[in-house]
Amino acid sequence: MPPSDAASEWLRLTAHYRRMSDGELLSLARDPSELTDAAQQVLKAEFSARHLELPPPEKPAPPPEPEPDPDSPYAEDRELVEIRTVWSLADALQLQWLLDRAGIPFYMGDEKATGVDKVMSNFANGVSVKVMRVGYPYAWQALQDYEPANEPPEEEEDPSTWDEIPVVCPKCRASEVVFERLSRSFPRKKGDPDPAFEWTCDACGYQWEDEGILKR
């Protein structure tokens, strides 16, 4: 191209790109292979003048995990089973490191993320970690070195919420029973058997011993 034509093309492209919006320029720059050398140079100059930066190309989303074929002889081996629930990012990273070291594929959360950086679920609510059934024994072995730092406290059962089972006469099933006494006195000595409760039924007069009022 003669110098005069090249200068005219440069001026034309410069004027054209200046009329374009930032979004249009970004869209154009994502596929520079469609541009001539002159167009790429003018575009780069326009980016510099506007202080624009071209974002890195987006990685294509990984294909979804294929649904297991129920008729496949390997369907049961590929079934996902839970090995752990993690409650923090730190614990998730530790578990990922152990499974990666053992070469065991895993899936985190409802989104079945294959890496902690892809987990969208809230760790504070607990995130399930699953592996294929065939890899479960190896994953269990890897978990022997897992030391979680963030586990929810175990809820202690409140005895006040237990339902008391009423004492009834074992002979006539009447509930009109009277506690008489403990069959052994306190203090107990080492090796003494547990004391028994002595009861009398007001309805039929039957007397018996048991270990007290049961609770469930």
* Span 211-215, average pLDDT: 48
Residues 173 and 133 in one domain: no
Task: Specify the pLDDT at position 207.
Answer: 85
Report residue 40 as tokens: 């790429």
Instruction: Round to whole Å and give the CA distance between 131 and 138.
Output: 10
Does residue 166 lie within any of the structural domains?
Answer: yes
Helix (H, G, I), strand (E, B) or coil at 210: strand
Task: Based on the fold, state whether residues 141 and 80 are members of the same structural domain.
Answer: yes
CATH of the domain at 114: 3.30.70
pLDDT digits 0-9 by tens, 76-109: 778 889 999 999 998 999 999 999 998 999 999 9
DSSP 160: G
Contact (CB, 8 A) for 108 and 85: no
In a domain, 209, yes or no: yes
Domain of residue 23, residue span = 3-50
84 and 125 assigned to the same domain: yes
pLDDT at 164: 52
Q: Which of 119, 96, 107, 121 is nearest to 65 (CA)?
A: 107
The answer to whether residue 132 sits within a structural domain is: yes
Name the domain count of the chain: 3
Q: Which pLDDT score is estimated for 64?
A: 58
Residue predicted with more confidence, 16 or 163: 16
Q: What are the pLDDT digits (tens) for 23-79?
A: 888 888 877 777 888 888 888 888 888 888 876 666 565 555 555 566 666 677 788
Say whether pLDDT at 184 is over 80. no
Q: What is the pLDDT of residues 106-159, one digit of tens each?
A: 999 998 999 998 888 888 889 999 998 888 888 888 888 898 888 876 666 555
Instruction: Give the pLDDT score at 61.
Output: 57
Cβ(116)–Cβ(92) below 8 Å: yes
